[in-house]
Chain A
Amino acid sequence: MSNHEKKGGQVPQPDLSRRRFLGAAGAGAAVAASGGVAFAQGKPDPLITEIQDWNRYLGDSVAAHPYGKPSKFEAHVVRRDVEWLTASRESSINFTPIHALDGIITPNGVCFERHHGGAPEIDPSKHRLMINGLVDKPLVFTMEDLKRFPGRTNKIFFLECAANGGMEWKGAQLNGCQFTHGMIHNVMYTGIPLKVLLDEAGVKTNGKWVMPEGADSAAMTRSIPIEKAMKDCMVVWAMNGEALRQEQGYPLRIVVPGWEGNMWVKWLRRLEVGDQPWHHREETSKYTDLLADGRARRFTWIMDAKSIVTNPSPQAPLKSKGPNVLSGLAWSGRGTITRVDVTIDGGKNWVAARLDGPVLPLSLTRFYADIEWDGREMLIQSRAMDDTGYLQPTKDELRKVRGVNSIYHNNGIQTWLVRANGETENVEIS
């Protein structure tokens, strides 16, 4: 069977786990899976034999939670930030708890945030969108106008900050995939194609670039080539079925599928059409990739294929020997994930993971590998391939061509060391 044919199948466990582990001296004595923590050998479980409060008394009324929140037992599943990373928390970043999520959709309340001047609170009745520049007729829309446009559509896309993993160029630094890979989210957007609005204004023949601008105090601007703007960009007001969250651009943002998150301008108030790029701050001094020779790449818009094992990971260690589910996410800004390979021996041997759930272009893709763990150390990695044949490189391969000062676009293969006690660490390997 070729590698490619393995895609979608079960991981052939003997290759990677049982043979390797059981072959070693003493491994045969590995402790069996532990089972429930409170379960005393041979005695009945009081959680079963005794009537529990929730089984006797009434629960919350339907009026208790007009807008529902996750169970209090999930209170640890939150965005987190690293205070020392930035000078101000209004121009800063927090991270999606990807180690505690499953499937491909990120819940709205934990989608990572990146603001350059804080997240403004904008009354939608006071929000305006202007289109000007090289158009036949400059236009102004209210939110109500936008929601009346024909051609409304729903699309699922990942949004990844170009600096996701940016702290890891010089070596393993942050312990947790929330921090190393959590500048990403994946939601379903509702809105209209940007093309619909540009056509309404009428782009002049010399209109080659579109510049979205935010209404916030940073007034973010980026230059987008007209081909991309007309191809698949969207102007959206909803995510996962409800209005955009304030921190995600309420009431309006632009969606630039597959391209770096910085371009997805939030609190979108203006679209200017021009014949040249603007070379503004976020596409010159920032979001350009400094290479080892001192020169810098600019307009590196596409997010390269990437993957990460979210479980186990430093914040989600292994707790029991025996069967375990290795789980992760893969994505590519060039198209659709066709395959994810995983290794538990630091890249000596790989097997194809199982892609599960919708496998969509420019979206997060969930993968699983069902493993049998006998308690020996593992070096876990994943590598993604997309439908252009791009294969996620190792960190060293990436450093060889880019040096270590790029900050942005670090899509190198991540390694987790799983220790005998299940504790998991961010490491670099040879």
Chain B
Amino acid sequence: MSKFRKVLALALFAGLAASPAIAKKVGLGREALPEEVAAWDTDVRPDGAGLPPGKGSVKEGEALFLEKCASCHGEFGEAVGRWPVLVGGQGTLKGESPEKTPGSYWPFASTTFDYIKRAMPYGNARSLSDDEVYAITAFLLQMNGIVKDDFVLSKENFTSVKMPNVGNFYDDDRETTEKAFWNKNPCMKDCKKEAKVTGHARVIDVTPEDGKGVKVE
């Protein structure tokens, strides 16, 4: 064995031997600076973690909404065309056409704040100040009847806002409620008497009348 090979073998061995126990650091990358973490870590949780300092009123939010949001979402959050509806929908979730808005469906106000801050306005993301995000969030809550007209939303009072539909979510339970789908011996022969066509896609084809199809979220 050449000297080089011996060295290589030893290096490989050392690498392997060190791997189990406490993971040895590879040493790649560098420490993130606090300013860098602050620049990207803007996420907000339901418990208020991540909220920046700031505040905004319903009134300020209304002006901002008309200027920056209404062209897609409509002046009253009713939506233009197929853009998302932001207001109303209460009482529709059990019906034929559920309208899932922050007011009728979204479980946490923090989701609204977080999403506006990270991704809105569509096509000009991250252009709003924190106060503006507080204000627009406040206006959305007001339009949905969750806060009053004179409400001022702030980091301090944020977690006092309770969304009406928060109690109607529960964790995935398919493995218990859909237990019947586990069936190792399915029917193979004479499983049913007849199979009749009950519906055709032809009625609504891939090129239906404009705007008549269902929505993709």
**Which residue numbers of A lie inside 8 Å of B, CB to CB?**
3, 82, 84-88, 90-93, 116-117, 130-133, 137-142, 145-146, 148-150, 163, 166-167, 170-176, 179, 196, 199-200, 211, 213, 217-219, 221, 269-270, 272, 274, 276, 278-281, 284-288, 290, 292-302, 304, 314, 341, 345-351, 379, 383, 385, 388-393, 397, 401, 405, 407, 417, 425-430
Supply 8 A–B pairs (Cβ within 8 Å), ascending by A: A88-B83, A132-B37, A278-B114, A290-B93, A290-B100, A297-B171, A301-B172, A401-B177
Question: Scoring B residues 75 to 93 as 1 if CB is less than 8 Å from chain A, else 0, what string do you get?
Answer: 0000001111000000001
Q: Which segment of B21-29, B142-150, B151-159 sits at the interface?
A: B21-29
Question: Scoring B residues 159 to 188 as 1 if CB is less than 8 Å from chain A, else 0, what string do you get?
Answer: 000000000111111100110111111111
**Is there a chain A Cβ closer than 8 Å to B134's Cβ?**
no
B residues less than 8 Å from A130 (CB atoms): 32, 36-37, 40
Known A-B contacts A174-B206, A383-B186; A405 and B98 likewise in contact (beta carbons under 8 Å): yes
Chain B, residue nearest A133 (CB)? B41
Name the distance in Å between A134's Cβ and chain B's nearest Cβ.
Answer: 11
The reply to whether A270 and B41 form a contact with Cβ atoms under 8 Å apart is yes
The reply to whether A175 and B45 form a contact with Cβ atoms under 8 Å apart is no
Q: Which of A92, A292, A389 is B182 in contact with, Cβ under 8 Å?
A: A389
A-B contact count (CB 8 A): 267
Name the distance in Å between B202's Cβ and chain A's nearest Cβ.
Answer: 6
The reply to whether A429 and B198 form a contact with Cβ atoms under 8 Å apart is yes
**Is there a chain A Cβ closer than 8 Å to B196's Cβ?**
yes
Chain A, residue nearest B210 (CB)? A84
**Is there a chain A Cβ closer than 8 Å to B67's Cβ?**
no
Q: Which 9 A-B pairs have the closest CB atoms?
A: A346-B195, A426-B201, A138-B32, A428-B199, A87-B82, A294-B94, A199-B23, A294-B93, A172-B201
Chain A, residue nearest B217 (CB)? A286
The reply to whether A281 and B111 form a contact with Cβ atoms under 8 Å apart is yes
Secondary structure call for the B interface: loop
How far is B178's CA from A120's CA once the two chains are assembled, in angstroms? Answer: 40
Name the distance in Å between A398's Cβ and chain B's nearest Cβ.
Answer: 9
Q: Which segment of B1-9, B55-63, B118-126 sits at the interface?
A: B118-126
B residues less than 8 Å from A82 (CB atoms): 206, 213
**Which residue numbers of B lie inside 8 Å of A, CB to CB?**
15, 23, 25-26, 28-32, 36-37, 40-41, 43-47, 72, 81-84, 93-94, 98, 100, 102, 105-108, 110-111, 114-115, 118-119, 122-123, 125, 168-174, 177-178, 180-202, 204-206, 208, 210-217
The reply to whether A116 and B32 form a contact with Cβ atoms under 8 Å apart is no
- Of residues B84, B180, B195, B215, which shows the largest number of chain A Cβ atoms within 10 Å of its Cβ? B195
The reply to whether A292 and B94 form a contact with Cβ atoms under 8 Å apart is yes
How far is B84's CA from A20's CA once the two chains are assembled, in angstroms? Answer: 51
Known A-B contacts A117-B122, A285-B100; A172 and B200 likewise in contact (beta carbons under 8 Å): yes
The reply to whether B190 and A163 form a contact with Cβ atoms under 8 Å apart is no
A residues less than 8 Å from B184 (CB atoms): 385, 389, 391
Known A-B contacts A148-B28, A213-B40; A91 and B122 likewise in contact (beta carbons under 8 Å): yes
How far is B108's CA from A298's CA once the two chains are assembled, in angstroms? Answer: 13
A residues less than 8 Å from B118 (CB atoms): 218-219, 221
The reply to whether A84 and B213 form a contact with Cβ atoms under 8 Å apart is yes
A residues less than 8 Å from B45 (CB atoms): 274, 276, 278-279
Known A-B contacts A116-B119, A279-B111; A300 and B195 likewise in contact (beta carbons under 8 Å): no
B residues less than 8 Å from A425 (CB atoms): 200-202
Name the distance in Å between A390's Cβ and chain B's nearest Cβ.
Answer: 5
B residues less than 8 Å from A87 (CB atoms): 72, 81-84
